[in-house]
Structure 1
Amino acid sequence: MKIRGDQLSSTLARQSAPLYWLAGDEILLLREAADEVRRHWRQAGFTEREVFHVEQGFDWNDFLYQFDATSLFAEQKLLELRLYSAKLDAKGREAITAWLDKAPEDYRVLISGPRIDSSVLSAKWFKNLDDKLVLVQIWPIDRARLPAWLRQRLAAAGIQPDDDALQILTDRVEGNLLAAEQEIEKLALLADAEPGANKRLTGNDVLRLVSDSSRYDLGKLADAALKGDAERAQRVLGGLRAEGVFPLLILAVLTRELRQLLTILDQIDQGHEIGQAMSAARIWQSRKPIVSQALKRLTADKTQQMLEHCKLIDHSVKGLHRANPWDELSLLVLRICGERFCDYASLRAE
């Protein structure tokens, strides 16, 4: 059975399927749908939960063992399978099919993962399971539906936006609902709405509040660097420094991005397609174009060198190296942008 994300609540209320499969690339909607399924089964008595991260090399016997080892005194349990690819290998397909053939009463399964493409949906093994599971296809909120979605979220936060405010928010968060959620939380805090009363939000309010907070946005620094926009990246870094952001916070964001890039580059070097490698690394759909730009400029060796640079910056912040951490952060950002420098290691050697 296939349903849309907005049909999940009504389906849970009327149908007790043993397996729910959530598929989509919009992280926020996927997370909220998973929370709803967990809450439903918890209320039904499935109080225990075990999570399996299905990556390359995952041993499906660990999953199958759960219901092969049931006992008379076992508590009801929800098993979660978090997929890093929507295409299961042969052992994965066999394991899901075997579980649904038995469907033990004391167990329920929640699968969450990337969007399932037509090749999987049309596969014989998947069609054979159609009447045994509920597939929840979670689609991104497109531009046409985004204003209504934002208005609903703002209303839940006690904020009543005018048309200008809604338009500005729509322009700034399109394609990234996680950013939209963060902006709404921020607006709710900064708007100083009285408890129990709706706060009117104008376009000028949004411009003022979002513009002020954008100087603190570490994500914008990472995005500018990944895009190779050196001028903007340096401007954002300067703004973060002027606002007193601690250098280690900035370094943590850049280090995370570089580690993620290195993981993807290693996958590409092993023969995987770029899109497949990014999906396996759980790159948001809205960020894939940005990450792709960085992947075209960087190699695994260069990225590893930049991670070594991160260690130097960490030591400089902690007083273990004589380098200036802000100068080094500036150089690191330029290196991520693709700017060329001589060997920084030899220049900074103790």
Structure 2
Amino acid sequence: MRIFADRLVEQLNKQLHPTYLIFGSEPLLIQESRQAIQKAAFAQGFEERHRFAIDSSFDWNAVYDCCQAMSLFSAQQIIELELPESGVNAGIAKELLSVSEMLHSDIIFVLIGSKLTKAQENAKWFKALANNGCWVNCLSPDIQRLPQFVQTRCRALNLKPDQEAVQMLAQWHEGNLFALTQSLEKLALQYPDGILNLVRLEESLSRHNHFTAFHWIDALLAGKAKRSQRILRQLEAEGVESVILIRTVQKELTQLLNMANQIQIKPIGQVFESYRIWQSKRPLYSAALNRLQARKIIQLLQLLAKIELLVKTQYDQSSWPLLHQLSTEICLPQVKL
């Protein structure tokens, strides 16, 4: 069973599964998921907790010893296993399969890792564990899901934001869920009646949104001009090195040019497969390829080369105005002659 992290408590109230697979890129959701499972397990008598982090020198015998501790005097256990940042290699996969065969009713097994790849979802070790448990998705909510996420958090704190307040909270805290949680707790204390509107938000909070170069790229691919400019202004204000953005957008434009040439002779789905484009990202690339012809992409790469030359030779001149120009031109709809 697969659920989003914000539905985990609801699921735990119905049933405690023997296995939980917590995967994603959002630290707050991972932390809260772990705590929710611990609380639910403790309430059902799982009083002993063992926590392991896998590294190159990890001794799997410690995990096996916990799994084999079955007797009338053994406490029910929670075993937490953190995967390395590099993911699951062949050796770890083999050990996880072995562990899956040793689990029993006196163990709640929790596996924690970063965002899953398609190959990992289809791997034997993952299926062996997922078949007996719950896969908790801890990815950061995107800009479409974030307002609903804000509303759910507000309800839990008896806060009653109007629609404008929800949108503002989402915009101000995009990419920084820890700050969102802190802001909502502050608002709950400051306004006991729970009513939130723009006036109260502006009086109480400062902006906590945290954007990365990848947020900017997604906005560019989608052709969202206003959003891309807002993100770029925020990155500039945070002191992000322009060369990082140059390198990131250069990679994307080069890939788009190659893809634009290939879709002339291949189905677009086949092109996406060859570049390993995630299903969730394909609408963004489709939008960019519908908007930008090969000739236009070449012009954008030429402008990018001009920006890079400026960065490397004209130290007294800012490259940000040209980056804003590039951002605008990438988002412009294609003019058909």
TM-score bracket, normalised by the shorter chain, equals 0.5 to 0.7
Corresponding residue pairs, total: 217
1:199 aligns with 2:180: no
Cα distance 1:145–1:42, how it changes in 2: closer, same or farther (>3 A)?
Answer: same
Cα distance 1:170–1:96, how it changes in 2: closer, same or farther (>3 A)?
Answer: same
Identity of aligned residues (%): 30
Q: Which amino acid aligns with 1:66?
A: C
Deviations 1:192-243 (A, max 9, x none): x34xxx23222122112214x98xxxxxxxx9666259xxxxxxxxxxxxxx
Q: Which amino acid aligns with 1:140?
A: S
Q: How does 1:226-237 map to 2 (within 5 A)?
A: 227-228=240-241
Shift of 1:49: 0.7
Q: Determine if contact 1:86/1:116 at 8 Å carries over to the other structure.
A: no
Q: Determine if contact 2:78/2:107 at 8 Å carries over to the other structure.
A: yes
Cα distance 1:156–1:107, how it changes in 2: closer, same or farther (>3 A)?
Answer: closer
Shift of 1:117: 1.0
1:54 aligns with 2:67: no
Counterpart residue number, 2:161: 161
Gaps of 5+ in 2: 209-235, 243-337
Distance 1:117 1:87 in 2: 10
SS in structure 2 at match of 1:95:
helix
1:103 aligns with 2:97: no
Cα distance 1:86–1:24, how it changes in 2: closer, same or farther (>3 A)?
Answer: farther
SS in structure 2 at match of 1:109:
strand
Q: Determine if contact 1:28/1:178 at 8 Å carries over to the other structure.
A: yes
Gaps of 5+ in 1: 215-222, 230-350
Shift of 1:17: 3.6
Q: Determine if contact 1:165/1:203 at 8 Å carries over to the other structure.
A: yes
Distance 1:45 1:98 in 2: 25
Q: Which amino acid aligns with 1:61?
A: N
1:38 aligns with 2:42: no
Counterpart residue number, 1:120: 120
Counterpart residue number, 1:184: 184
SS in structure 2 at match of 1:227:
coil
Q: Determine if contact 2:21/2:111 at 8 Å carries over to the other structure.
A: yes
Shift of 1:16: 5.0
Moved segments of 4+, more than 6 Å:
223-226
Counterpart residue number, 1:26: 26
When normalised by structure 1's length, the TM-score is 0.54
Distance 1:33 1:5 in 2: 7
Counterpart residue number, 2:267: none
When normalised by structure 2's length, the TM-score is 0.56
Q: How does 1:260-279 map to 2 (within 5 A)?
A: none
Shift of 1:78: 0.8
Counterpart residue number, 1:76: 76
